[in-house]
Amino acid sequence: MKITEPTPGAPCWVELGTSDVASAAVYYRQVFGWHAATASGAEAEGYTLFSAGDARVAAATPLYAPGQQTAWTVTFATRDAEALAAAATDAGGKVLVPPRDVPDLGRFAVLADPAGAAFALWQAGPFAGAELLNEPGSLGWVELATGDAESAVSFYTRVFGWTVRSHGAYAQWGIGGADFGGMSTVEARDREDVRPHWLPYFAVESVDGTAARAAESGGALLMAPTDVPDGPRIAMVRDPQGAVFGIHQAGTEG
């Protein structure tokens, strides 16, 4: 079973904060074939939607805050952003951006877990979230990198009610009988500047072909295409502005 539409508690959207939205739009078109459209109006502040065909799948924004890193942010659906933000605070997390309205679309907030991994919430209005999930060119998996797995399990199961299933040494997050993500550890061998974070993986028809396009278009392969034991074929990429994302073979979620 896989999640194919925005579902409370599950990933529903992914957003790139980048130093160069226009260049990012070109790059991701070359890699995934996405089309970019920048929202109109001063209040939009350069917000740019990425679409796979006619389906909206992701977005990019300029860097708004001093010191903000170029990175992808994973967003989870919720029926009540205020209640979930309060639950996260009670569980030891932090509210980075309090719940606020996006006119005519919905309501969002940005939180961090006790280890500092940031993520966003989306309370749907007319816009529910990604219009395509777990299909080529769309978000297919999310992964938490953390130095404290025990604390992460305690936090996310309490706040979201997620299930946790072990797959060898790898833990997987799930909801409603569907696994949508996993958890790995930030170890001493990793770069010192790598902090706890959420990483999106996009489903693709060919990991090898997409990884080659990602590198040829100016990105860097952090992990060459690899077959995970008893799992999918994956690769990890850093885009030209520094944002990291993963890719995996479509149809191998969970």
Model pLDDT, residue 159: 98
CA 172 to mean position of chain CA atoms: 15
**Closest CA relative to residue 203, chosen from 221, 223, 180:** 180
Which residue do the tokens 């917000």 mark? 47
Q: What is the DSSP letter of 228?
A: P
Residue 233 pLDDT more than 80? yes
Supply the Cα-derived Rg of the chain in whole angstroms.
17
Q: What is the mean pLDDT of residues 56-73?
A: 92
pLDDT confidence tier of residue 230, bands split at 50, 70 and 90: confident
> Comparing 241 with 46, which gets the higher pLDDT?
241
Cα separation values, 128 from 8, 76, 111, 132, 162, Å: 10, 11, 19, 11, 20
Lowest pLDDT segment from 108-122, 174-188, 197-211: 174-188
Give the whole-angstrom CA distance, residue 187 versus residue 40: 43
Cα separation values, 91 from 88, 152, 160, Å: 5, 10, 11
**Closest CA relative to residue 183, chosen from 175, 174, 173, 191:** 173
Strands across the sheet with 139-146, in order? 163-167, 170-175, 178-185, 139-146, 197-204, 244-249, 233-238, 220-227
Residue type, 58: A
124-141: pLDDT as tens digits: 999 999 999 999 999 999
Model pLDDT, residue 219: 98
- Domains of the chain with bracketed CATH: 11-124 (3.10.180.10), 139-249 (3.10.180.10)
Model pLDDT, residue 189: 41
What are the φ and ψ backbone dihedral angles of 105, each rounded to 5 degrees?
A: -125, -50
What are the φ and ψ backbone dihedral angles of 252, each rounded to 5 degrees?
A: -120, 25
85-128: pLDDT as tens digits: 999 999 999 999 999 999 889 999 999 999 999 999 999 999 99
pLDDT confidence tier of residue 239, bands split at 50, 70 and 90: very high
Residue 154 pLDDT more than 70? yes
pLDDT confidence tier of residue 193, bands split at 50, 70 and 90: low
Contact 211/224 with Cβ under 8 angstroms?
Answer: yes
